[in-house]
Chain A
Amino acid sequence: MSRPPALLSQFVLKIHSRCDLSCDHCYVYESADQSWHGRPLTMSDRVIERTAQRIAEHAAEHRLESVQVVLHGGEPLLVGRAGLRRIITELQSALYGTCQLDLRIHTNGVTLDEELCELFAEHDVRVGISIDGDRAANDRHRRYADGRSSYDRVIRALGLLGTDRFRHLYSRLLCTIDVANDPVVVYESLLQLKPPRIDFLLPHATWDNPPPGRTLATDERYADWLIAIFERWLGAGRPVQIRTFDSIISTLTGGESLTEALGLGPAVLAVIETDGSYEQVDSLKAAYDGAPATGLNVFDHSLDVVGQHPGIAARQQGLAGLCHTCQECPVVTSCGGGLYTHRYRAETGFRNPSVYCADLLKLITHISSRLPQATAGRTGTATHVVSEDTFRALASGFGDAAAVSQLIEAQRSLRRSLLGAVYQGASTALGASDAAGAALRAAWAVLTTIDGESPEALDTVLAHPYFRVWAVRCLEQVKSARRPGLVCDLGRLGAIAAAAAMRATVKADVTISVVDAAVHLPTLGRMAIGPGGAERDGASEPETASVVVADGTLAIRVKDSHWNLAVSDLLANRPHHAAVAAGSRPAEWQPMRVLRAPGIDIAVEDTDPYRDCHQWRAAPRLTDSEFAQWQRRFEEAWDEISYFHPLYASALAAGLSVLMPLSAGPDGRDVSATARHAFGAVAVALPVDPVTLALLLIHEFQHVKLGAVLDLYDLYDPTDGRLFRAPWRDDLRPLEGLLQGTYAHLAVTDFWRVRQEVTTGAAAEAAGKRFAYWRDHTRDAIETLASSGSLTPLGALFVDEMRHSACP
């Protein structure tokens, strides 16, 4: 099953098919593909116009926010200033009002002059320049046809780009590696040119046409060359962006790849030649004559048709598109099989490791080993680790309290990072002089004080499962610039500060949004207040409460009403009828209540405004009698779990912090849920019997555990958008959904296996049937996962442990 095509968003326009240099390592002219011979010298106006239209219609149809166009060649500056202006304005006109245009030019730089720089400044065209290092290194290949050096002219061009007038256009240097050059000399000479970024490019090669200087496939001289630079770069504190290294560090720490030459991201690039032909990525010229051709052109074919071309689709398959060797490689997430072209072998096509496999493995392994140092320069910290035994225990469907505690510690890092990101993002979005911005800064000041004086108090409040739901919502509001929503959500920051201040006995004076006629304090409860004025219309900013924590008292003021509450009562979760100091609005403090059983306490979250994030609808706040019913049922369920399912009990006691009551399911069905961002919470509608509640708690906590594992590890290729059959559902599921369901049903299977053994008669018979049903479905699903082709090596290990558990 192949993936649906990813949308194209990068376009390389070959605006001139010849070059004024004659570099002997050029992939355009010196490679297997010789199609340049038959191309027009330049793009005609007709081709340019149609190309711009094609890109614009593609962007409009798919509502792309931006596209990137790279003017390329040959040598694009040979088009001349007038020609370049025509091309640039044609593109900008076509895309105006449709999407942003990120326009770049890659050039050898030898004819770049002040007038061209002014043209690029006028139209915001970023310039990348090719240079291979110092004079000796550059002159090894980058010469004119008569043998003259190009070095001085390139240096002159870089001098122009280094001036204050044009520095903002200076995009990067592109350096093709020649291992005969001294790597450190090359790096230092490029660094002196003060580039914002350097790309070190492996010379294009295939298994049929191996890299220059290479005699054995196990030769690692390219890795050694790059590692020498990496160490110099790292030792100097990473003074410049180097895309290869940055990309590897990014993927090793969970981020995206930054280059087509590494990682599992889909190819989203198409090339348009001077005659209007669409081609695949042009490095394919190094594979064989005609390799980049698609047989499509701008006059007859849309970019959607290009995106469906088998050659492009083949580079959008992520892990599943790689050969078996790559799929099982420990560094595949960072490497991604290397550049597609470099995998080619005439006998087997592109389904091979890269011809640079040994180099990439060594380089990535080396950078991985230096990761703490690589990140220490920025943070002073390393990444979270989990013991292998713990990983395997979690993968098998179990994992004890110690295992869950390791997941909890990683969640602390995630929550603190999210808090910082929300503050940073919101500060930028709101502006310095804004009242909401002032409230934000006041709340942040309280939080930093608490963090310094009593960090455990802050951690307690941040550990509330719906903190992350809130943070993600804020970041989404920042992204979409929804100011009223953002201002309302940011009121929660004051509430977090106030709740933590009460725990830390720190003074606080903050502003909190009034939501659903209540002032909410996470981990404590809410002050429900009577109606007080006009309803919000959604566009206006919310009613706010002024909240002061000082001298053991929580003082809340909403307009002319004012209430005082004793902090000690609130921390003890005691119900409290607030003393009305002024005004006329009635109010009631509704504390967060706690379900208790031997060895476990779980907060019942039935007031938080961010709790309704599950698949099923949240129940309104429980009445006292409803809560009493929950308490009885929970105690009975916990007896079941701790006696018959002890392997799950300790993990639940360690990691389950909140139970969120759901409204009854349709037709009285038992319903339960978890939310990916709400670590530690399960949502359940009260079932009629304790055994069902025990099952639902165990089932849902599997999702909680796996969600935390997925926060830490890439178990599958995230770019795989395919849907898969889950035996227990009518609809198809994405890979993560299938993994989640299978992991949960692993525990369900185990549950019914145990019930079959501990019951008798009809109950045992019914349990046996359920055990067989879930065992078979779970095994089927495990095999679907294992054969998906999209599991990372760690994911394959995880699924293998699941298989051992399901098929003992």
Chain B
Amino acid sequence: MRTDGTSRVSSAVVDVRDLSLTEMLTLKMETIDQVVARVLPDSPVAPVAVAAFNSAL
């Protein structure tokens, strides 16, 4: 179980309740994108696993 040491289970959803709508849009959208991606895995803003291959030459 993924806990924060106080018998609480950390989730994958970022808490944006206290962010105003204006603040949300002035932030880099990374966190919002991740929240949306959880709801809509194939959303236009979902993180894309690009260039997974990585081997140095």
Interfacial residues, chain A to chain B (CB-CB below 8 A): 10, 12, 19, 26-28, 68, 70, 72-76, 102, 104, 106-108, 130, 171, 174-176, 199, 201, 243, 250, 252-261, 263, 265, 268-269, 281-283, 330-331, 368, 371, 375, 378-389, 391, 409-410, 412-414, 416-421, 423-425, 444, 447-448, 451-452, 455, 468, 472, 475-476, 478-479, 677, 711-714, 718, 793-794, 797
Q: Which residue of A lies closest to B20 (CB)?
A: A451
| A265 and B52 alpha carbons, distance in the complex (Å) | 10
| B3-57 interface (Cβ within 8 A of A) | 3-4, 7-22, 24-25, 27-57
| A476 and B8 alpha carbons, distance in the complex (Å) | 34
Which residues from chain A contact B1 at a C-beta distance below 8 Å? 330, 388, 391, 793-794, 797
| A382 and B13 alpha carbons, distance in the complex (Å) | 9
Q: Are A253 and B55 in contact (CB under 8 A)?
A: no
Which residues from chain A contact B45 at a C-beta distance below 8 Å? 421, 424-425, 475
Considering residues B4, B7, B17, B33, which has the most beta carbons from chain A within 10 angstroms of its beta carbon?
A: B17
Q: Are A479 and B52 in contact (CB under 8 A)?
A: no
| A371 and B2 alpha carbons, distance in the complex (Å) | 12
Shortest C-beta distance, A752 to chain B (Å), equals 31
Q: Are B13 and A712 in contact (CB under 8 A)?
A: yes
Q: Are B8 and A386 in contact (CB under 8 A)?
A: yes
A-B contact pairs, 14 of them (CB 8 A): A27-B55, A68-B53, A254-B13, A254-B35, A254-B38, A258-B49, A378-B30, A384-B11, A417-B35, A425-B45, A452-B22, A472-B40, A475-B45, A711-B38
Q: Are B13 and A384 in contact (CB under 8 A)?
A: yes
Which among A68, A201, A388 is the interface contact of B3 at CB below 8 angstroms?
Answer: A388
Which residues from chain A contact B52 at a C-beta distance below 8 Å? 10, 257-260, 265, 268-269
| A171 and B51 alpha carbons, distance in the complex (Å) | 10
| A380 and B53 alpha carbons, distance in the complex (Å) | 32
Q: Are B13 and A794 in contact (CB under 8 A)?
A: no
Which among A74, A385, A448 is the interface contact of B21 at CB below 8 angstroms?
Answer: A448
Q: A330-B2, A378-B31 are in contact. Are A10 and B53 (CB under 8 A)?
A: yes
Shortest C-beta distance, B15 to chain A (Å), equals 5
Shortest C-beta distance, B52 to chain A (Å), equals 4
Considering residues A73, A130, A424, A447, which has the most beta carbons from chain B within 10 angstroms of its beta carbon?
A: A424
Q: A281-B53, A381-B31, A713-B11 are in contact. Are A420 and B43 (CB under 8 A)?
A: no
Q: Are A391 and B9 in contact (CB under 8 A)?
A: yes
Q: Which residue of A lies closest to B52 (CB)?
A: A260
8 closest pairs, A vs B, by CB? Answer: A254-B12, A712-B11, A417-B35, A479-B44, A174-B56, A130-B56, A385-B8, A388-B7
Q: Are B54 and A383 in contact (CB under 8 A)?
A: no
Shortest C-beta distance, A261 to chain B (Å), equals 7
Q: Are B47 and A130 in contact (CB under 8 A)?
A: no
Q: Are B35 and A414 in contact (CB under 8 A)?
A: yes
| A269 and B25 alpha carbons, distance in the complex (Å) | 36
Which among A250, A268, A380, A387 is the interface contact of B47 at CB below 8 angstroms?
Answer: A250
Which residues from chain B contact A268 at a C-beta distance below 8 Å? 52
Q: Are A176 and B21 in contact (CB under 8 A)?
A: no
| A696 and B54 alpha carbons, distance in the complex (Å) | 51
| A217 and B5 alpha carbons, distance in the complex (Å) | 27
Considering residues A107, A254, A268, A368, which has the most beta carbons from chain B within 10 angstroms of its beta carbon?
A: A254
Shortest C-beta distance, B7 to chain A (Å), equals 4
Q: Are A420 and B32 in contact (CB under 8 A)?
A: yes
Which residues from chain B contact A476 at a C-beta distance below 8 Å? 40, 43
Q: Which residue of B lies closest to A718 (CB)?
A: B41
Shortest C-beta distance, B28 to chain A (Å), equals 5
Shortest C-beta distance, A459 to chain B (Å), equals 9
Q: Are B17 and A412 in contact (CB under 8 A)?
A: yes
Which among A414, A448, A794 is the interface contact of B38 at CB below 8 angstroms?
Answer: A414
Shortest C-beta distance, A757 to chain B (Å), equals 33
Q: A260-B54, A451-B21, A478-B44 are in contact. Are A254 and B37 (CB under 8 A)?
A: yes
Considering residues B9, B22, B52, which has the most beta carbons from chain A within 10 angstroms of its beta carbon?
A: B52
| A412 and B13 alpha carbons, distance in the complex (Å) | 11
Q: Are B11 and A468 in contact (CB under 8 A)?
A: no
Shortest C-beta distance, B37 to chain A (Å), equals 6
| A603 and B53 alpha carbons, distance in the complex (Å) | 51
Which residues from chain B contact A424 at a C-beta distance below 8 Å? 25, 29, 32, 45
| A711 and B16 alpha carbons, distance in the complex (Å) | 15
| A187 and B10 alpha carbons, distance in the complex (Å) | 30
Which among B22, B30, B42, B55 is the interface contact of A106 at CB below 8 angstroms?
Answer: B55
Q: Which residue of B lies closest to A387 (CB)?
A: B8
Which residues from chain B contact A108 at a C-beta distance below 8 Å? 57
Q: Are B34 and A254 in contact (CB under 8 A)?
A: yes
Q: A255-B34, A420-B24, A677-B39 are in contact. Are A410 and B44 (CB under 8 A)?
A: no
Q: Which residue of B lies closest to A794 (CB)?
A: B1
| A455 and B20 alpha carbons, distance in the complex (Å) | 9
| A52 and B57 alpha carbons, distance in the complex (Å) | 23
Which among B13, B21, B53 is the interface contact of A269 at CB below 8 angstroms?
Answer: B53
Shortest C-beta distance, A106 to chain B (Å), equals 5
Q: Are B8 and A388 in contact (CB under 8 A)?
A: yes
Which residues from chain A contact B18 at a C-beta distance below 8 Å? 381
Given A381-B15, A424-B32, 13 extra CB contacts under 8 A? A72-B55, A130-B57, A201-B54, A201-B55, A255-B46, A259-B52, A259-B54, A378-B27, A378-B31, A386-B11, A416-B19, A420-B32, A479-B42
Shortest C-beta distance, A633 to chain B (Å), equals 33
Which residues from chain B contact A421 at a C-beta distance below 8 Å? 29, 32-33, 36, 43, 45
Q: Are B13 and A410 in contact (CB under 8 A)?
A: yes
Which residues from chain B contact A478 at a C-beta distance below 8 Å? 44
Q: A75-B57, A424-B29, A677-B39 are in contact. Are A713 and B17 (CB under 8 A)?
A: no
Considering residues A253, A388, A414, which has the most beta carbons from chain B within 10 angstroms of its beta carbon?
A: A253
Q: A68-B50, A260-B54, A448-B21 are in contact. Are A475 and B43 (CB under 8 A)?
A: yes
Considering residues B29, B42, B51, which has the most beta carbons from chain A within 10 angstroms of its beta carbon?
A: B51
Shortest C-beta distance, B8 to chain A (Å), equals 4
Q: Are A383 and B27 in contact (CB under 8 A)?
A: no
Shortest C-beta distance, B35 to chain A (Å), equals 4
Q: Which residue of B lies closest to A70 (CB)?
A: B53
Q: Which residue of B lies closest to A74 (CB)?
A: B57
Considering residues A102, A420, A478, A677, which has the most beta carbons from chain B within 10 angstroms of its beta carbon?
A: A420
Q: Which residue of B lies closest to A379 (CB)?
A: B31
Q: A130-B56, A269-B52, A378-B28 are in contact. Are A711 and B37 (CB under 8 A)?
A: no
Shortest C-beta distance, A648 to chain B (Å), equals 22
| A255 and B12 alpha carbons, distance in the complex (Å) | 8
| A257 and B33 alpha carbons, distance in the complex (Å) | 14
Which residues from chain B contact A793 at a C-beta distance below 8 Å? 1
Which residues from chain B contact A252 at a C-beta distance below 8 Å? 12
Q: Are A389 and B7 in contact (CB under 8 A)?
A: yes
Which residues from chain B contact A368 at a C-beta distance below 8 Å? 2, 10
Q: Are B39 and A414 in contact (CB under 8 A)?
A: yes
Q: A255-B34, A383-B15, A388-B9 are in contact. Are A417 and B20 (CB under 8 A)?
A: no
Which residues from chain B contact A455 at a C-beta distance below 8 Å? 20
| A450 and B20 alpha carbons, distance in the complex (Å) | 10
Q: Are A72 and B14 in contact (CB under 8 A)?
A: no
Which residues from chain A contact B38 at a C-beta distance below 8 Å? 254-255, 414, 711
Q: Which residue of A lies closest to B48 (CB)?
A: A256
| A269 and B53 alpha carbons, distance in the complex (Å) | 8
Which among A253, A263, A386, A409 is the interface contact of B17 at CB below 8 angstroms?
Answer: A409
Which residues from chain B contact A714 at a C-beta distance below 8 Å? 12
| A284 and B36 alpha carbons, distance in the complex (Å) | 36
